[in-house]
């Protein structure tokens, strides 16, 4: 099986020993505590599950600036985006303290992790601008949901190792779907899959997405597919994770051979960082055991902010050779060809005009579903469409 990034063995930060975890829970009750941001909590969940291997906690100022600048920590580890615990004010917290990190996304703010603070540092305004520009690449004066979220957390950076005590709301609200990198790696081993392709989604999968996965599996000669859903915070208007989950599971049940596709999810908030986030997605897919990862048009984008293939080109232009073992499957936009009577990558049909494809905008599809109208069979499987119709009509009633 493919090795994790940066180490021979996966290093999940979740405290799996129940006695040790209970002792830490009790200790945390007497520790200084902070309610962290949703982004910081998501980082803890990813660290806990082994997705962010080999990191041992939150990055220091020097590591974060170095990662933003050249995708390497100060010690030389390849890493695409800073993993931070940013706050507005550290108060009395100082280096050497042990503190409890409280969950902002669960009622009552239970303790999510215990942290040994190695440094309390502050980013300057120029530091924040430089990191924002490098990670999100916003134009001057442009609203960018990812950049705005990043800059809303504060400029004080708490760095140091953590021990994770739970997986926030993910393993309770998404029981059976949320899986750690440790669990997925074990399932892949149990299934005997050697070559595995991962597909990232934050939306339901239409026919073109389904066929793209079949295409990748066939062309790469894969034993299995991991459909890996983002379960964390999205943007207004996105379809809830439980609806996506039901739609994707129905598609897999009906249109994939048995034991060829795994439907799972991970607990993280969308960054909307385009190419840099595409690289981060590749890192943690390697950690969960995938050998290949599909990156299509506008991967992890927002609106038309990034170029259509920026998230592919970064692997050619900025990711050093050998930095990752996982390989990228590069996909163009896929759509149903009326000429060929099948789904194709549009770049592989040079003799086609736009009208030769079945193309529907997201707005048009939402309008149809909201009216109880299924999109054409060339766009969406009818069984999947019905689940989405039920959702949209429930919102309109």
Active site residues: 202-203
Distance between CA 227 and CA 328 in Å, rounded? 15
**H-only helix segments in the chain:** 18-28, 38-48, 61-70, 125-136, 145-151, 170-173, 181-191, 207-220, 241-255, 274-287, 310-317, 362-370, 382-396
β-pairing, 119-122 vs 327-330, is: unpaired
Q: Find the farthest-apart pair of alpha carbons in the chain and give their distance in angstroms, rounded.
A: 69
Task: Report CA 295 to chain centroid distance, whole Å.
Answer: 13
User: What is the arrangement of strands in the sheet containing 327-330, beginning at the earlier edge strand?
Assistant: 261-266, 224-230, 196-201, 292-295, 327-330
Residue whose structure tokens are 């090795």: 3
CA distances in angstroms from 346 to 316, 334, 342, listed in the order given = 22, 6, 11
β-pairing, 86-87 vs 156-164, is: antiparallel
Task: Report CA 321 to chain centroid distance, whole Å.
Answer: 23
């Amino acid at each position: 099986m493919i090795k994790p990034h940066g180490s021979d063995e996966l290093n999940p930060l979740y405290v799996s020993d129940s006695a040790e975890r209970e002792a830490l829970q009790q200790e945390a009750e007497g520790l200084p505590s902070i309610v962290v941001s949703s982004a910081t909590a998501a980082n803890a969940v990813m660290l806990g599950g082994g997705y962010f291997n080999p990191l041992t906690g939150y990055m220091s100022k020097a590591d974060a600036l170095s990662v933003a600048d050249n995708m390497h920590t100060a010690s030389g580890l390849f890493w695409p985006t800073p993993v931070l615990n940013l706050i507005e004010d550290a108060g009395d917290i100082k280096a050497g303290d042990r503190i409890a990190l409280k969950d902002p996304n669960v009622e009552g703010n239970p303790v999510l992790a215990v942290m040994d603070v190695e440094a309390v540092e502050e980013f300057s305004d120029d530091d924040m601008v430089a990191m924002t520009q490098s990670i999100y690449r916003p134009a001057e004066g442009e609203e960018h949901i990812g950049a705005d979220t990043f800059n809303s957390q504060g400029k004080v950076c708490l760095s140091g190792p953590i021990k994770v005590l739970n997986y926030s709301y993910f393993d309770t609200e998404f029981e059976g779907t949320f899986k750690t990198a440790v669990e997925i790696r074990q399932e892949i081993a149990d299934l005997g899959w050697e070559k595995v392709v991962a597909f990232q989604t934050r939306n339901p999968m239409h026919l073109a997405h389904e066929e793209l996965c079949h295409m990748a599996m066939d062309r790469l000669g894969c034993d299995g597919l991991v459909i890996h859903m983002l379960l964390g915070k999205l943007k207004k208007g996105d379809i809830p994770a439980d609806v996506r989950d039901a739609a994707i599971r129905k598609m897999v049940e009906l249109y994939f051979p048995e034991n060829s596709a795994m439907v799972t999810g991970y607990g993280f908030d969308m960054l909307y960082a385009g190419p840099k986030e595409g690289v981060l997605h590749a890192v943690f897919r390697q950690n969960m055991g995938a050998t290949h990862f599909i990156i299509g048009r506008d991967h992890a984008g927002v609106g038309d902010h990034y170029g259509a293939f920026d998230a592919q080109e970064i692997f050619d232009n900025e990711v050093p050779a050998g930095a990752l073992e996982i390989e990228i499957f590069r996909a163009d936009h896929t759509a149903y060809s009326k000429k060929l009577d099948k789904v194709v990558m549009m770049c592989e049909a040079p003799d086609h005009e736009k009208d030769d494809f079945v193309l529907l905008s997201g707005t048009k599809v939402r309008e149809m579903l909201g009216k109880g109208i299924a999109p054409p069979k060339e766009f969406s499987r009818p069984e999947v469409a019905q689940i989405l119709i039920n959702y949209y009509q429930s919102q309109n009633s």
